[in-house]
Structure 1
């Protein structure tokens, strides 16, 4: 999109929208010297600026005077996108009432629902879902709203998405699912919710690691506890290690102790290391000592 250089009046118009100065907006519009959808170098319009900053009165004024809610920046992001990102429910409602496209994507595929989920704005998420937003839309990397909500630990948002029909196991291009990313990030409350909703406990990411392995490798004991309730694979994985190896390398003793109850103390990785040797190699002395003692007791 080729954008013309802004005039001085256009700059003033944009500043008024940015600052939430509705009176100044009206004054400038009354001069007839500005176009209501004038754009800056990034394609940003006054409506987008007002929506992004949460200026409801300005948004209402601009829409009343004919601003186009379909306008987007060069990144494809619209006024509704920014309202959703900021959690501005009243602005999102006004924009939708004026015909804003509910699933208009940015250049990387993100929709208003996606950013509302990312930021944990449940009222906006609920409103977008109520108005028909696609809960299984996805980014270019195939991440879904549920994936990004799980990644950020937003349990209530995840619950709303699942209730609305979000696919619990829809995977990103690297085959990571919402459960996988929640486990990696240590969100045990989200992991519990996803497992109860039927998430596959042994999903393999493209590197051969399961949610259990990744949680163990990060030392997320509470997540490991939740996953173990669903009988995950505790044996050797395609990545050449067990979850106990992952825990041993993390150095989180509570996590190691929990996994050690499931066996595998003497299992060797593809590199020939037992969990005790893996802990020692990672410099986790207390974990290595604990595992060596467990090895001795299992002879």
Structure 2
């Protein structure tokens, strides 16, 4: 915004709102000498400035001091209230779920990404928000967007330099989390943008292993296009073992069709067939075992 203020006090309010200086903003508003709805000559309010700049504590303070959230200003035909209301949505989220802000290291960008507010993400990124923000557990905005399946936000973050393989502290990468949650379109985008198909968590499981266990077949189909490992993983098992334990017939069929080996034992010397009592799945596995034995 281009700001022109009427008085020094109003000028200070706008400066505090733009910079996120909550202490100064409170001091000015509590003085009773300046209105929470003070506007510049273009009709811009301090609430608009604080919202646009992503300073949510200042937004909260202005609202508590009586600032009008319904005031509109048109710039080049664009209704700014639309963007402000999106930002206020995140403010409400932060009030309802306080752990998202502060205590776990959350920022405006991490919350916007988690809740899929792509227009808010765009505003924040254009105004200097860092795609490398992390929660205390190491989760990045990209990780949170992948967890919730927000494809548009993921594309925005990757285009702004987000690291596609940046894991959480427990080793969980965005691809692994998207696979676990069954977000096949997210998995596709991440793989096309260079995600490591075989990245494993600290427990040794990969995205394919987890998708196989959960029976997320559309995810498995995307992963198989990138030839992930079907062999023994660091956790001492295979994706086929996971699929058999998960009990999804089509998942087992998909992996066998990709040449997963039913004769490969896990670390406990168990074959996939040893881990199920399902006749349908055993009929898939046994012919291949018999063929190999013969």
Does 2:292 align with 1:295? Answer: no
Distance change >3 Å, CA 134–CA 31, structure 1 → 2: closer
Task: Please state how far the C-alpha of 1:80 moved relative to its aligned partner.
Answer: 11
Structure 1 residue 223, shift from structure 2 partner: 0.8
Distance 1:135 1:298, change over 3 A: same
Alignment map for 1:113-262 (pairs within 5 Å) = 113-261=109-257, 262=259
In the alignment, the residues of structure 2 paired with residue 30 and residue 110 of structure 1 have an alpha-carbon distance, to the nearest angstrom, of: 28
Distance in 1 between residues matched to 2:177 and 2:119, nearest whole Å: 24
Q: 1:278 aligns with which of 272, 275, 279?
A: 275
Are the structure 2 counterparts of residues 83 and 143 from structure 1 closer, same or farther at C-alpha, using a change threshold of 3 Å? same
Q: Tell me if 1:83 matches 2:83.
A: no
Aligned with 1:264 (options 253, 261, 265): 261
- Deviations along 1:94-114, one digit per CA (max 9) or x if unpaired, are xxxxxxxxxxx6221111000
Q: Which residue of 1 aligns with 2:46?
A: none
Counterpart selection for 2:68 from 57, 71, 79: 57
CA contact (8 A) 1:84 1:116 kept: no
Q: Which runs of 5+ in 1 are unaligned?
A: 1-28, 37-43, 62-78, 89-104
Number of aligned positions between the proteins:
225
1:275 deviates by: 0.9
Using the size of structure 1 for normalisation, the TM-score is 0.67
- For the residue of structure 2 that corresponds to 1:198, the secondary structure is coil
Deviation of 1:188 after TM superposition, in Å, equals: 0.6
CA distance in 1, matches of 2:62, 2:251: 48
Q: Quick one: structure 1 residues 113 and 84, their matched pair in 2 at CA, closer, same or farther if it must change by over 3 Å?
A: farther
> Can you give the 5+ residue segments of structure 2 that lack an aligned partner in the other structure?
1-28, 37-55, 73-83, 94-100
Alignment RMSD: 3.4
